[in-house]
Amino acid sequence: MSSADKVVAFVLLVTDSNSTENIFNEVQSIDKVKEVHLIYGDYDLIIKVELNNLQEMTSFMMDLRKKFDIKKSSTLITLAK
């Protein structure tokens, strides 16, 4: 699969304030995660992911929600680099 076929997305998360740092640390070890940043504003974290397809994106998000205390998320899928 070429890099042009990959799905690159930025995932914005609102977390429970007591778990933000833990999520930040744990998410960094996920293979498909390329970057994680703590941020100020309406969201607590921004995560850059690279996945093979939209189905993998759906699985990634479902797993993230099951594993961590996420109150809200917004996913921004890129169109071009």
State which residues form the domain around 72.
3-77
Q: How many domains does the chain have?
A: 1
pTM of the model: 0.89
E strands in 16-79: 33-38, 45-51, 70-77
pLDDT of amino acid 70:
95
Which CATH number belongs to the domain containing residue 54 in this structure?
A: 3.30.70.920
Radius of gyration of the chain (CA): 12
pLDDT of amino acid 3:
57
17-75 pLDDT tens trace: 999 999 999 999 999 999 999 999 999 999 999 999 999 999 999 999 999 999 999 99
